Amino acid sequence: MSKKKMIYLAGPLFSRAELEYNLKLKDMLLNNSFSVFLPQEEAEDSAMGRESQNQEYIFMKCAEGVNASDLVVAVLDGVDVDSGTAWEIGYAYAKGKPVIGLRTDFRELADGIVNLMVEMSIVSLARDEEELLKMLEKFR
């Protein structure tokens, strides 16, 4: 039996809705035989975690999470991509890690779906969770 691929799940984590959506995605990925690094849990990157941990700790745990991952799934919803998520995408790209974007938001920029630098850093873009799972098949 082959080792489960590790996914770093990047995305905004500042509202209750974002936190709950991240957990939903994590569960979906776990149920489809992937391991998942979720910053809001693994790096304690949440409002409470930021009170008890210093920012360097959170930063280092997230960087280590990307380093240890086989690929990154990045939630790209919103008017603009979350700045932390954009950094994680760029870092993963620099490390040669494939990044799959997930954008369920129907809004588009005048010149593309997301920021040009983000769009050029991802290997594919899923428009919903079902499409994401299909894209992940080739990474098993």
Per-residue confidence (pLDDT) for residue 2, from 0 to 100: 67
Q: How far apart are CA 100 and CA 121, in angstroms?
A: 9
Report all structural domains of the chain as residue ranges with CATH numbers, in order of start: 6-139 (3.40.50.450)
Q: Is the pLDDT of residue 50 over 80?
A: no
Model's pTM, two decimal places? 0.91
pLDDT tens, 51-101?
A: 656 788 889 999 999 999 999 999 999 888 999 999 999 999 999 999 999
Query: How far is C-alpha 13 from the geometric centre of its chain's CA atoms?
Result: 11
Determine whether 61 is exposed, middle or buried from the number of CB atoms within 10 Å of its CB (0-12, 13-18, 19+). Answer: middle
Residue 109 pLDDT class (50, 70, 90 cuts): low
Per-residue confidence (pLDDT) for residue 58, from 0 to 100: 87
The CA distances from residue 82 to 13, 50, 60, 125, in Å, are 9, 18, 19, 16
Per-residue confidence (pLDDT) for residue 48, from 0 to 100: 58
Q: Is the pLDDT of residue 122 over 70?
A: yes
Find all residues with CB under 8 Å of 79, minimum gap 6, and list them.
Answer: 107
